Structure 1
Amino acid sequence: MKLIHTADWHLGQSFHGQERHAEHRAFLDWLLVTLQARQPDALLIAGDVFDVVNPSLRAQELLYDFIVSAHAALPELTIVMIAGNHDSGSRIELPAPLMRRLRTHALGRVHWLDDGRLDCDHLLVPLPDHHGDVRAWCLALPFLRPAEVTGGDVTDYRDGIARVHRELIAAAEARRQPGQALVAMSHAHLTGAAVSEASERPIVIGGEESIPASLFPPAIAYVALGHLHRPQQVGEPRIRYSGSPLPLDFSESHYPHQVLEVTLAEAQVEHIESLAIPRHVALTRVGPGDLEAVEATIATLEIDPELPRERWPWLEVRVELETPRPDLRARIEAAIADKPLRLLRIHSRYPNADTTDTEHTDADLDTLTPQEVFTRTWQSQYGENPPDAVMRDFASLLQQVQDTQEDEEQHDA
């Protein structure tokens, strides 16, 4: 059977204050065409479907329009979608009864039975082929929040995660028939994987969030991972991050973006193929250099003047300055005035100063993560970066707030 693995859509992302619905729509249109051409049996979406726990109506519309269109085009396609750390697990699960009519399984949280055992039935999804025969089982593991996996005799977060994996794998082993594969889907940070520092939110607490690949024993034919935006395998070819379909920051613009097509033969992986995603909007970086050099480089940029505005490249400019320039933004805007470019941010750097990069942009709370707001506040108060121990405490507090919000949403639902 054949699977398509994707993750980290981040629908509704605000790119330094600018919406990216056109880019996400282009990706979903491409994905639909790809599904029709490749005819997979299942589509696995490994978390961070949305960028925030309370996504806009337009972001939700993108998701549900795609699911309806995919089902109409491929009625036998099974879709399995899990919540990531950016998602509200309750929101992901809310329309689950309706989506099951579209052969879509939405898993947002783990549940526990009255006797303390994991509700494995909730997390095990059969994957039939186009004849209707079950060829694999998907072990769908949404992002595991500390409050969901600790309690009673289990007080350590990592121990709680390991327990969930053990119980779910044991249940899957007991259920599968000869020749059926086990496919795990998880939204997690595996130890040793490469991180895109500028755009990936720490899952829980620095260091404590990473889990070992050994949690996925050889009995698991393929591990479809989400959370890290850079496409990569972790240790073995069967353990993969598909990566995000769009670069979510300029730091992610230099590597290709993809979905993965996985072919299973009996209970093993037969072939894995990367399917490159066309980039709908280019990310252009100019600099670093002095202002005159940056202006000269901008003048040489050649961009198709017929591009519709929604496809104009995003622009980041890095300028080295000896002294502050109050006219910096005006000079850059004048340099791009006759070019189809969208200026997102200007970084100004003072080589002889003690401080590093300073972002010269109209940053507001919508463009900064909580960690960035806290770090900037600490820097303004104490003139240095917060110590690691302080950042760990802040991350723990932030996670408690997010867990509380999740619980309130679940209660309201």
Structure 2
Amino acid sequence: MTVRFLHTSDWHLGQFFYNHSRQYEHEQFLAWLLEQIKEKQPHALLIAGDIFDVINPASAAQKQLYQFLADAHDLAPHMQTLMIAGNHDSGYRIEQVEPLLEKYNAKTVGVIHKNSEGSIDLDRLLIPIYDENKTIVAWCLALPFLRPAEITGFNEQTTNSQNAIAYLHQQIIAEAIKRKTPDQALILMSHAHMQGGETSDSERPIIIGNEEALSTALFDDVIDYIALGHLHKPQKVGQENIRYSGSPIPLSFSEINYKHQVVEVTIDPTKNDESRFKFEPIFIPRSVQLHKIKGELNDVFAKLKALPSGEIDNIDHREYVDIEYHTAVPPQPNLRQQFEDALPKDRYRLVRISRQYLASEKSNSEQSQISLEPPTPKKLFEQIWQKQGYASDDAVLKDFLSLVQEAEKSLENEHEA
């Protein structure tokens, strides 16, 4: 029995990009995705984590998700929407709305639960996927972002996070093998940083200190497809059937050249040759362009003036501009205004300016930046640490990031309470 599904991830609904809302861009993506669902009528839509940008998303971001689920259900009533929590999400929060999700044929897995016997509740992690005739055509092994506090301490095999991750994969795969029939596919959905994955500068680090990224050896060959979330660049990891779908919109200027996509996957478990799988990227149109302008000051001004003109009335629809200029002399105090004046009128948003020192200047001079983006706790800590005259220390940074994660978890638990 053939199963057809769409693999997407890292929506980051509610994101602010240098203090500018991405709501319009997400609206355009979701409207486009609804068209794909209407046309292709898949058995399932997989959203592999980081649905929201923060653990306490604004009501507008939550409304976007729930309106999308309602609209998708209207267009494809048989389609299941399966979601897992990413490191940006509150697993408890997205599980709280299960009664609502059921109305739209949607399910979410936010955290790893224990059953009444104190062991891992595998039933919540193994989700059957049905076809139009209510026949099971596949099983989805749903693994949200695995926080150490939520997966350790079950038994002697889960005393630390690495052991717990290996044990959890072994348990859920073994149970899935028991349940599946030869004509059913196995799909594993996970939000994790896998070894060999190519990163951008917009992913929040989830590897602390020298902790290793996860190995694809965790995945048994019996798994037909691994739908990954976390890394924003669409990519395969080692094998054709282990993929990151990537984010639907560029979440930083480092993602300007990414070919954002949703992966359409078709699996026929009854076949044992190349025709068993079909992977088709569906490229997502970009609703708001990003421009990174680099060079000497004169070059920068020329490039700014050469950008396409034509006013865009709504500021939320205007294109983003990031400038990195090179100069050997101190910048003029009104440089930002000069950049603004060089841009074609009412079409662009200048969100970031940074100065790159030339090689002829002192080698220890650091890049001077004017950034409108708030610094992360990690960057603030590193800046303060260096200002105090201390050398970089991975162990200290690891301890600090552990404290940050504990603080975020504490805030999340207080909110849920």
TM-score (norm 2): 0.93
What's the CA shift for 1:310? 2.7
Match of 2:33 in 1: 31
Which among 302, 306, 324 is matched to residue 308 of structure 2? 302
Which structure 2 residues correspond to residues 140-289 of structure 1 after superposition, within 5 A?
140-151=142-153, 152-153=155-156, 154-196=158-200, 198-208=201-211, 210-266=213-269, 269-287=276-294, 289=295
Name the stretch that deviates more: 369-378 or 125-134: 369-378
CA distance in 2, matches of 1:236, 1:350: 42
The SS at the match of 2:388 is helix
Q: Give the whole-Å Cα distance in 1 for the aligned partners of 2:365 and 2:382.
A: 14
Question: Could you list the runs of 5+ residues in structure 2 that have no partner in the other structure?
Answer: none
Contact 1:181 1:267 in 2 (8 A): no
Structure 2 counterpart SS, 1:127 = strand
Deviation, structure 1 residue 319: 0.8
1:387 alignment counterpart: 393
Contact 1:145 1:403 in 2 (8 A): no
Residue 44 (str. 1) matches residue 51 (str. 2): no
Contact 2:44 2:79 in 1 (8 A): yes
Q: Output the amino acid matched with 2:258.
A: Y
Deviation at 1:393, TM superposition (A): 1.7
Structure 1 CA distance, aligned partners of 2:147 and 2:117?
A: 21
CA contact (8 A) 1:191 1:212 kept: yes
Counterpart of 2:67 in structure 1: which amino acid?
D
State the alpha-carbon separation in 2 of the partners of residues 362 and 218 from structure 1: 46
SS in 1 for 2:336: helix
User: Within the alignment, does 1:340 sit opposite 2:347 as a pair?
Assistant: yes
In 2, distance between residues paired with 1:185 and 1:371? 29
Contact 2:308–2:344 (CA<8 Å) still a contact in 1?
no
Contact 1:135-1:266 within 8 A present in 2 as well: no
Q: Could you say if the C-alpha distance between residues 306 and 192 of structure 1 is closer, same or farther in structure 2, counting changes exceeding 3 Å? A: closer
CA distance 1:65–1:239, shift in 2 (3 Å): same
How many Å apart are 1:374 and its aligned residue?
Answer: 1.8
Q: Deviations over 1:95-129 (max 9, x none)?
A: 01221121100110001124332100111111001
Instruction: Answer whether contact 2:140 2:189 (CA < 8 A) is retained.
Output: yes
Give the conservation status (yes or no) of the 8 Å contact 1:182–1:267. no
Match 2:126 to one of 107, 117, 124: 124
SS at match of 1:233: strand
Question: CA offset at residue 182 of structure 1?
Answer: 0.8
Give the Cα–Cα distance (whole angstroms) in 2 for the partners of residues 383 and 27 of structure 1: 45
CA distance in 2, matches of 1:267, 1:45: 26
Query: 1 CA distance for matches of 2:314 and 2:346?
Result: 12
CA contact (8 A) 1:89 1:406 kept: no
- Alpha-carbon distance change, 339 to 188 in structure 1, aligned in 2, over 3 angstroms: same
2:406 corresponds to which of 396, 400, 403: 400
Secondary structure of 2:324 counterpart:
strand
Q: Could you say which residue in structure 1 is the equivalent of 2:365?
A: 355
Q: TM-score, normalised by structure 1?
A: 0.94
- CA distance in 2: counterparts of 1:267 and 1:378, whole angstroms: 58
Q: Which amino acid aligns with 1:380?
A: K
- String of CA shifts for 1:289-335, please: whole Å, max 9, x gaps: 22222111111111343574332210001111223322221221222
Which residue number in structure 1 is paired with residue 17 of structure 2? 15
In structure 2, the residue corresponding to 1:189 is in which secondary structure? Answer: coil
Partner of 2:340, secondary structure, is helix
Q: Does 1:110 align with 2:116?
A: no
On the 8 A contact 1:147/1:403 being kept in 2, the answer is no
User: Is it true that 1:331 corresponds to 2:338 in the alignment?
Assistant: yes
Q: Structure 2 counterpart of 1:168, which letter?
A: I
Distance 1:187 1:5 in 2: 12
Cα RMSD, aligned residues only: 1.7
Identity %: 43
In the alignment of these two chains, the number of paired residues is 405
Correspondence for 1:57:
59
CA contact (8 A) 1:225 1:240 kept: yes
Question: What is aligned with 1:370?
Answer: 377
CA distance, structure 1, for counterparts of residue 167 and residue 195 of structure 2: 18
Q: Which residue of 1 aligns with 2:98?
A: 96
- The structure-2 alpha-carbon separation of the partners of 1:209 and 1:56, relative to structure 1 and needing over 3 Å to count, comes to farther
Residues 203, 209 of structure 1: 8 Å contact kept: no
